[in-house]
Amino acid sequence: MRIRDRLGISPRRQRQVTYLFELVMAGVFLVGVWNWEVPVMVNAGVALLIAQVVPVLERDYNVPLDAGLTLWITSAVFLHALGTIGLPGTDSFYRTIGWWDHMTHALSSSVVAGVGYATVRAIDEHAEGVVLPPKFVFVFILLFVLAFGVLWEVLEFGIGLAADFLGAETVLTQYGLEDTLLDLVFDTVGAVVVATWGSAHLQDVSGYIEELIEKRSA
């Protein structure tokens, strides 16, 4: 049984929360515009864009993203966007709340892991000569997420260097080697959660990807 079913959260309520998150992200973007804070505008703008891509995938491409999956993805970008601001008169949540960065990494990495899990399960189901044992899938998801996490950290580092060179504000910030290693640890946490319980939530998406593979190979 899915977690949201255990909690008795209806699809309608999940959609309402998703819309609320989108409104808050729009508000964060406006705060960035009002204060002319480029990092806030960029992060909130990208988060809003990702949130709008999800319903487009469902509506125009028939990707089976139910209310729960949509809320999951939106929550990841919402918390990231919200973290770029703080309470009035204080610094951003990323700077004032020590665990905020780790929470967003765990949630975002779970979304990345979900993509990897759905894809590898679709390949496993489609290819007759391919049998992927559960342990292999588990390890693959961990490595997939860690590889993406390392790429993200390199991107953060590169953007920081470019911002320093240009004398501009960086839109992504690294807080040192210890922070980077902790980020990767929490990336792994998100991957483990999806690798362990992904089948309960991503079966429909895996089926959709399998159909795409079958159409392309026909």
Cα dihedral sign for 190, 193, 199, 202? negative
Q: Percentage of the chain with pLDDT > 90?
A: 48
Instruction: Parse the chain into domains and list their residue ranges.
Output: 1-97, 98-218
Tell whether the model's pLDDT for residue 37 goes beyond 90.
Answer: yes
Instruction: Give backbone dihedrals phi and psi of 194, rounded to 5 degrees, phi first.
Output: -70, -40
Tell whether the model's pLDDT for residue 18 goes beyond 90.
Answer: yes
Mean pLDDT, range 8-22, rounded to an integer: 90
> pLDDT digits over 39-91, tens only?
999 999 999 999 999 889 888 888 888 898 999 999 999 999 999 998 888 88
H or E, element range at 12: helix 11-35
Q: Using CA atoms, how far apart are residues 140 and 134, in angstroms rounded to an integer?
A: 10
Average pLDDT, the chain: 88
What pTM was estimated for this model as a whole? 0.88
> pLDDT digits over 172-201, tens only?
877 777 888 899 999 999 999 998 888 767
Q: Using CA atoms, how far apart are residues 119 and 178, in angstroms rounded to an integer?
A: 32
CB atoms within 10 A of CB 19: 12
